[in-house]
Each structure stands twice: as structure tokens, then as C-alpha cells.
């Protein structure tokens, strides 16, 4: 992955994407009403969000980019079929989650990413005194712990924590009862804590 995006640090996007929901929903409405011109800005807004989601679910950057593209292409072709079914954003999240978790290829890649992260987190590289490097090692440990979660718990944790969807929205996206989503979040957090504690020792 390092080689694939040389110089990525020079193009870092602001992490904050929040606050533009009303504008994005308005774009989605225009698109669903038949305004094809609304699709390009909509896709542009959603792409990083979808890549980020798929990446946290699969652990693989290339896989995540694939997933994001597939979801957007499907959305472009599926206009007119959403009406009344669910929110556009719910559909995008749902397809992205399913894409990320269902595909056998994704599962293979996740295993590989996990193995790689695990190897690094277990101290293959000696911890450097620099704080940036320590933070990187910590990030890897957390990433490995998240990727090791069972798929259903991982989906809830990632949507709730990293995408800041309230549990009611997570339930919509995953088409599951809120109580179920709640207990998955709880089990996921407990599992993460246990695993991260083991690593800290």
C-alpha cells in the first residue's frame, strides 16, 4: 500500500466531512427526481465516505476503492428505483457494507491485511521514540482489532464510531432491530477492549 500512494501526505483531505448533510440530501433528491447533473457532485461527496467505510471493513485500500466505485455505478444506474424505499444514503451505506462483507475476495484480502497488521503490531518493527511512529503503531493495533471483529459487530462499530451514524440509522442501514444493533455494538466494544488490552501487555 505504501508504494501505491506515494506522497499521499501531500494531498491529505480535511478529516471533517460533517456539516454538509442538508446540501447532500438536496443533491440526492435532485438526482432521484431525474436531474442527472446532480449525480457528479453527489458521487464526489460520497466517494471518500464510501472508500473510508469499505476500507475499515476490509482493511484493504484497493478493495475499498473497488467497492466505492461499484456502489456509485450501481447508484447511477438505479435511479428511479429508490422512490419511497429508503433514503439514498441508507441504500449507499447498505450496499457498501454488503459489498465489503459478502465478497469472498474481500474476505481473503481482509485476512491478508490482518496478518500484515498483526505482524507489525506484534513488534516486527522496533518502536521508535518518535511520537508519530508510536501513534502509527497504535493505529495499526486498533486497526487489527477492528478487522478481527466478527463481521456483524464490525459493521456496527464502524458505522457508529467512524461514520457517526446514530444507532437508529445503523439499524436502518443493516436492516436489523435497534436492540440487536445495540448488543452488537456492546459485544464489539468489549471484544475490542479485551484484544487491545492483551496487546498492551
Partner 1 sequence: MKPDDDALLDCSDVRGELAALAYDDLEPGPRRAAERHLAACAACREALARLEGARARLDRWTEPGRHPAFAPVPAPRRAELLAGVAAASPPRSGRRARPILWSVAAGLLAFVLLAASSARAELASGRLVLTLTAPWSSAPAADRADALPAELLAELAALRDADLRAGAERARLIAFVEEARAADRRALSALLDELALGAAREDQRTRRALGELATLVVHAPPR
Hey, which residues between 95 and 134 contact partner 1 (CB under 8 A)? 95, 98-99, 102-105, 132
How many whole angstroms separate alpha carbon 89 and alpha carbon 27?
11
**Interacting residues with partner 1 between 24 and 63 (CB under 8 A):** 36-37, 39-40, 43-44, 47-48, 51-52, 56, 61
Q: How far apart are CA 3 and CA 14, in angstroms?
A: 22
Give the one residue of 24, 70, 107, 176 binding partner 1; rule: CB under 8 A.
70
Of 87, 90, 107, 142, the one binding partner 1 (CB under 8 A) is: 142
Q: Does residue 12 belong to the site contacting partner 1 (CB under 8 A)?
A: yes
Phi, psi of 143 (to 5 degrees): -60, -45
Q: For residues 150-189, which are near partner 1 according to CB under 8 A?
A: 157, 160-162, 166-168, 179, 182-183, 185-186, 189
Tell me how far CA of residue 122 lies from CA of 113, 169, 187, 198, in angstroms: 14, 36, 24, 11
Greatest pairwise CA separation for the chain in angstroms: 57
Q: How far is the CB of 26 from partner 1 (least distance, A)?
A: 20
Of the pair 9, 22, the CB lying nearest partner 1 is at: 9
- Cα distances (angstroms) measured from residue 100 to each of 21, 106, 126, 167, 194: 24, 6, 32, 20, 25
Amino acid at each position: 500500500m505504501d508504494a501505491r500512494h506515494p506522497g499521499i501526505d501531500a494531498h491529505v483531505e480535511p478529516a471533517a466531512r460533517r456539516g454538509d448533510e442538508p446540501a447532500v440530501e438536496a443533491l440526492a433528491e435532485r438526482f432521484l427526481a431525474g436531474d442527472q447533473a446532480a449525480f457528479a457532485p453527489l458521487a464526489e461527496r460520497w466517494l471518500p465516505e464510501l472508500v473510508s467505510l469499505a476500507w475499515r471493513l476490509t482493511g484493504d485500500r484497493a478493495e475499498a476503492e473497488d467497492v466505492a466505485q461499484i456502489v456509485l455505478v450501481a447508484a447511477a444506474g438505479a435511479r428511479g428505483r429508490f422512490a419511497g424505499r429508503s433514503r439514498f444514503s441508507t441504500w449507499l451505506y447498505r450496499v457498501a457494507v454488503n459489498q465489503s462483507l459478502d465478497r469472498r475476495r474481500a474476505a481473503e484480502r481482509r485476512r491478508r491485511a490482518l496478518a500484515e497488521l498483526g505482524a507489525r503490531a506484534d513488534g516486527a518493527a522496533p518502536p521508535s521514540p518518535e511520537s508519530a511512529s508510536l501513534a502509527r503503531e497504535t493505529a495499526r493495533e486498533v486497526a487489527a482489532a477492528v478487522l478481527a471483529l466478527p463481521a456483524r459487530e464490525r459493521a456496527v462499530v464502524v458505522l457508529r464510531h467512524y461514520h457517526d451514524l446514530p444507532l437508529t440509522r445503523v439499524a436502518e442501514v443493516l436492516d436489523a432491530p435497534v436492540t440487536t444493533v445495540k448488543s452488537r455494538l456492546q459485544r464489539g466494544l468489549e471484544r475490542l477492549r479485551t484484544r487491545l488490552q492483551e496487546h498492551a501487555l
